[in-house]
Each structure stands twice: as C-alpha cells, then as structure tokens.
Chain A
Amino acid sequence: MLKDITLGQYFPGDSVFHRADPRAKIILGIVFIVAVFLADSPLSYAFLLLSTVLMIAVSRIPFKTVLRSMRALIFIIIFTSVINIFWTRGEHLIFEWKFIHIYREGLTFAAYMVIRITCLLCGTGVMLSYTTSPIALTDGLEQLLSPLKKIKLPVHEFSMMMTIALRFIPTLIEETDKIMSAQRSRGADLSSGGLIRRAKALIPVLIPLFVSAFRRADDLAVAMECRCYHGGEGRTRMNKLHFGLADLALTLAFAAFTAGIVLLNKVPLNVFN
C-alpha cells in the first residue's frame, strides 16, 4: 500500500520542457509566477488561460494528470471563490437576500482568482515538477544558488542532503511497510480507534524506523568517505548543465508571454461595462 506513493510527479518525455536546463526552468518558473500576478484585465486573463493550456499541450503531459494534481487544492479554490463572491462590495448588485449581497465585481473577482490559482499550479507544475526529474532540480538549484557560497552558506551540503533524501525515500517507505507488517503480525492494531489511539499505535513503528535510519546514515557516511567524498570543494560533475536551443526557445516564448500579459492589460476592453 505504501509502495503506491510516487515521489514527485516527474513524467518522463522528450518535449522542449523536458530538454530545457533546470536552471532556465527555475528562473522562467519565477517569471511565470510574476506574470500571472501581473494579469489585470479580462483579455490578459484569457490570454493567461490560453497560454497555460498551450504549455500543457507542448509538454505532452496528459491534461488528466495535470488536472488531477488540482484535486488537493480544490478546497482552497472553492473557499477563496466563496469569500470573494460574498464579501466583495461593488456597484452592480445582482442578487440580494437578507444579509447576502452578491455584486458583479465579486463574481468577476472570484473568476479571476480561480483562473489565477489554476494557471499558477498547472504552469509551475509543467515547468518544474512534471518535466524536471528531482535530481535535475536539485542540481539546478545548487548551481543557481552557488553565488551564496561566497557568504558561507552551505549550498553544496544542502543539495547533497536533498539528493540523499530523495534516494532514501523509497528505501524508507519499503522499510516502514516491513516494520508495520512485523508489528501487525505480533498483534499490533494500527488502523482502528480514534486519532490519538492511532497516533500512539504508530510509536512501535516509528522507533525501529528511526533506529534503522540512523544505522543507514552511519553506513552511508562510511561508504561515501570510501569513495573520496570530502565536501563540495574540487568536485566535478559528469553531466554539466548548459544553456541550449530548448532554453533559448523557452526564454523567447516566456518573454512573449509576459509582454502579451502586460500589453493586454493596457487594452481598454471590459466586457462587463
């Protein structure tokens, strides 16, 4: 059962997004987030939505997969729209009953909000989690943050920790499964009772898991030392990251996208007036 958990949502493929340098994708991801918040008119929102759909299409990740990741946030989306609908005051009242007032501005605002959150999630998802393997993401982050080494921030150590964590998540999940089965076979009841009782029942699972994780850490440290590990200094990499054609194409596309949003904000068209 625990084995079904997939780590990250990397979806292997060969699109422009897959081929692009993780560093470029991280920067463009930030550009995208800023651009989403810049959108301020119906036209630019429409353009945003269209661009996001286009992005998903280009990345060749099934729409279903992308939309499924929205499920976790559906509550937040509904919640913010409800708040926007009922609490926004405006000029055009369209519905009134006792203490409930719904204005047209509220409805527009809610719609914008939904588009904004959806695009934010789908866009950054396509840029980072679906098309970038966790290891490429860590590598990209390490290199982007490497100027911070100058002020003595342990950037290399941080990325090494990330890599090892990613490496050991499946191992530890498997181990948890094994320990749970072992405790169950001794009569441990892990799945009934209230929240507190179930949390307490997890103690006999967590303690062996921690002990074994520490033992593994010890073994791994010795193995790494045997393989000449001595921190980030003087270390080379097998796969050097370099800025290629895919990155150029993406950068241009994103420049056009941001310009489009800014320009469309200026177009004095308002369907509601």
Chain B
Amino acid sequence: MAETFIRTEGLCFSYKDDEGRPILHNINIDIKRGEFLCILGRNGSGKSTFAKLLNMILTPDAGKIYVDGVDITDPGLTEEQIMEVRRKVGMVFQNPDNQLVATIVEEDVAFGPENMGVPSDEIRERVDRALETVGMTEYARHSPSRLSGGQKQRIAIAGILAMMPECIIFDESTAMLDPHGRHEVMETIDRLNEMRSLTVIAITHNMDEAILADRIAVMDGGRIVMDGSPAEIFSREEELTAMGLGVPQAAMLANRLRRAGMDLPEGLLDERSAADAIASAINARKRQGT
C-alpha cells in the first residue's frame, strides 16, 4: 500500500484552441498502489482533463507525471512504452455506447489484448476470465446493442481488465446510468479494488460513490483544494457547498444534528451507520433523562 504508483509534480495544462485558458494549475498528487481514490469536482473543474493526462491521451504543458516510476512526459518515449503506459492505466468512460467497438460482446473484450499482440489462446483465457469477473459470462455471444447501460459498462470494464491493467480510471462511468445500473457498476468497481488490489481512480460528482473510496481529492478551478479521507472531507460541509458540491445525505443529517447539540461520532457517511449512531445517541439521552 505504501508504494507510489502515480505521482504528478507541478502539472499544468491548457487546451490550445481555448485562448490558452489554463485548465489545470500546479497539480501535485501521489497515488499509492492499490488505493481507491475518488476525484470529486463539479463540471469544468478539470477532473476529466486530469484523468486524460494520466494515460497519455493528452500531454501536459508543464510538470511531470510518473507512472510506476516511468516519466511519461518524456518526449523520447517509444511506441512500446506508450502502449505499456496505456495497458497499465486503463480507462472507462462515461457513455457506454461510445466505447464498445465490436458487434459481439466477447469480440469487444478481446479488442485490447488483440491490439497488444497477445497470442490467440491467451486472449481467449483473458476474455473468459474478464467476463467472469464482471459477471457477464452468459452474455459473451450477445450483441452489445441489446444490453442495458449497466451491462454495457461492465463489458467496457471487462475490456479493460483483459489488458491486465494495474490501475483503472473511471471517468464519470456511472453518470449516464439508472440507479440500478449505477449500483451494478459501483459494486464491480469496489470488488475489483478489494479483491484484485487494483488501483482505482474514480472521477465523479456523485457523493454516494465517493464514500466508497479510501481517499478523496476535491478539485475546483483546476486545483486540488482538499485531499483526505471521506470522513475528513465530508465534515467540511460549508466549503464543499461553496464549491457547488454537496455531501452525502447521511453526512449532511449527521452534521446538522451535531450542530444542534447531539453527541455523534465523526465519519458517518452511509445511511446504515448514521441511523445506528443516531439511535444510540437518542437512547443515551433517554437514559440520562431517567
């Protein structure tokens, strides 16, 4: 857990066609191997741009990015090294329809390994394993166009898993899904992080997803403005609200009750633990009263 997997130093970026308006200013972050990091921020905060820098879809104006010890901002990187970076850092996007290439599920999952030149038998194995991991084995021969959004997104995840990545970036991957699909995908992400010790970077503006993370980095105006555990971040409700972000409903309720004088512990983020804590606080007060 202690080993750094991705490290950025003084990262700056602006789009050429946008009058040089800077999108990212001086981003410094260390992401540990096996960590589940959530990057929170409202639209236009630069969080998706940041993600695209990490696997060389975009190149920064200034600053350094190290992935697994390799400086990926080095212009002398060979084609093989670039491919290796993209293999290590896979990416799942927002729109499930726009990232599937083939007309058959298993063909699509095989797309990545095929590009990498993996031998046929091994591709077969990897595809079967990846589909099993995301629980889509029975749909292997189906056409993606008939699947639900959550299922398509799981296929996209399988497509990345078949490349044997060390880190997966989810760029708002649940934003276009219905609650059921969102749950399916979140559960898959969480399981991958726990069971396969995969480094996960989830970019989102959905608070309920952020509470699953080990660590949250909040971005605003192209800077990282907060960085800490979910409990720390969500106790700073006013700052988050000022940035146009909310806190999970359970945390909001706990924060208000605490301000109103109820004795509640820190770090209540999900409904279950908040309900338990509130119940025991009420019971404690009753006992004192009698």
Asked if A58 is at the interface (CB within 8 A of a chain B CB), the reply is no
Choose from B86, B102, B113, B119 the contact partner of A226 (Cβ within 8 Å): B86
Asked if A229 is at the interface (CB within 8 A of a chain B CB), the reply is yes
- B159 A135 Cβ-Cβ under 8 A: no
Contact A226 B103, CB 8 Å, known A236-B114, A238-B124, A238-B127 = no
- A135 B99 Cβ-Cβ under 8 A: no
- B119 A227 Cβ-Cβ under 8 A: no
Binds B, one of A42-50, A165-173, A189-197: A165-173
Asked if A240 is at the interface (CB within 8 A of a chain B CB), the reply is yes
Q: Which residues of A contact B86 (CB under 8 A)?
A: 225-228
- A226 B90 Cβ-Cβ under 8 A: yes
Asked if A235 is at the interface (CB within 8 A of a chain B CB), the reply is yes
Q: What is the interface size of chain B, counting residues whose CB is below 8 A from a CB of the partner?
A: 41
Contact A134 B98, CB 8 Å, known A227-B115, A236-B118 = no
Binds A, one of B104-112, B187-195, B251-259, B264-272: B104-112
- B120 A237 Cβ-Cβ under 8 A: yes
Contact A222 B101, CB 8 Å, known A230-B83, A235-B114, A240-B120 = no
| CB 8 Å contact bits of B140-181 with A (1 = contact, 0 = none) | 000111000000000000011001000000000000000000
Q: Which residues of B contact A40 (CB under 8 A)?
A: none
A-B contact count (CB 8 A): 98
- Chain A residue with minimal CB distance to B116? A228
Q: Which residues of A contact B98 (CB under 8 A)?
A: 216, 219-220, 223
- Chain A residue with minimal CB distance to B108? A167
- A238 B117 Cβ-Cβ under 8 A: no
- Give bound CA distance, A35 to B36, whole Å: 65
Q: Which residues of B contact A228 (CB under 8 A)?
A: 83, 86-87, 112, 115-116, 163
- B57 A226 Cβ-Cβ under 8 A: yes
| CB 8 Å contact bits of A128-149 with B (1 = contact, 0 = none) | 0000011100000000000000
| CB 8 Å contact bits of A223-262 with B (1 = contact, 0 = none) | 1111111100011111110000000000000000000000
- Chain B residue with minimal CB distance to A217? B98
Q: Which residues of A contact B143 (CB under 8 A)?
A: 170
Asked if B18 is at the interface (CB within 8 A of a chain A CB), the reply is no
- B103 A134 Cβ-Cβ under 8 A: yes
B50-100 interface with A by 8 A CB criterion: 52, 55, 57, 79, 83, 86-87, 90-91, 93, 95, 97-100
Contact A163 B93, CB 8 Å, known A222-B57, A228-B112, A238-B120 = no
Q: Which residues of A contact B119 (CB under 8 A)?
A: 236
- B120 A135 Cβ-Cβ under 8 A: no
Asked if B217 is at the interface (CB within 8 A of a chain A CB), the reply is no
- Give bound CA distance, A225 to B164, whole Å: 16
Q: What is the interface size of chain A, counting residues whose CB is below 8 A from a CB of the partner?
A: 29
Choose from B99, B102, B113 the contact partner of A219 (Cβ within 8 Å): B99
Choose from B93, B102, B163 the contact partner of A167 (Cβ within 8 Å): B102
Provide the main secondary structure of the chain A interface: helix
- Give bound CA distance, A225 to B90, whole Å: 10
Asked if B123 is at the interface (CB within 8 A of a chain A CB), the reply is yes
- Give bound CA distance, A163 to B127, whole Å: 19
Choose from A133, A167, A170, A216 the contact partner of B101 (Cβ within 8 Å): A167
| CB 8 Å contact bits of A158-180 with B (1 = contact, 0 = none) | 00000110110011001000000
Q: Which residues of A contact B112 (CB under 8 A)?
A: 227-228
Contact A238 B97, CB 8 Å, known A135-B107, A227-B163, A228-B86 = no
Pick 29 A–B contacts, CB within 8 A, sort by A: A133-B103, A134-B103, A167-B102, A167-B144, A171-B97, A171-B145, A216-B97, A219-B99, A220-B98, A222-B57, A222-B93, A223-B93, A223-B101, A224-B101, A226-B91, A227-B90, A227-B101, A227-B112, A228-B83, A228-B87, A228-B163, A229-B115, A230-B83, A234-B117, A236-B114, A236-B120, A237-B120, A238-B110, A238-B120
The 10 closest A-B pairs by CB, nearest first: A223-B99, A219-B98, A170-B145, A238-B110, A227-B112, A228-B115, A238-B123, A226-B91, A234-B117, A216-B98
| A-binding residues in B (CB < 8 A) | 52, 55, 57, 79, 83, 86-87, 90-91, 93, 95, 97-104, 106-107, 110-120, 123-124, 127, 143-145, 159-160, 163
| B-binding residues in A (CB < 8 A) | 133-135, 163-164, 166-167, 170-171, 174, 216, 219-220, 222-230, 234-240
Known: A226-B91, A228-B112, A230-B83. 17 other contacts (CB 8 A): A163-B103, A164-B101, A167-B100, A171-B97, A171-B145, A223-B93, A224-B101, A225-B86, A226-B57, A227-B163, A228-B83, A228-B87, A230-B115, A236-B119, A236-B120, A238-B113, A238-B120
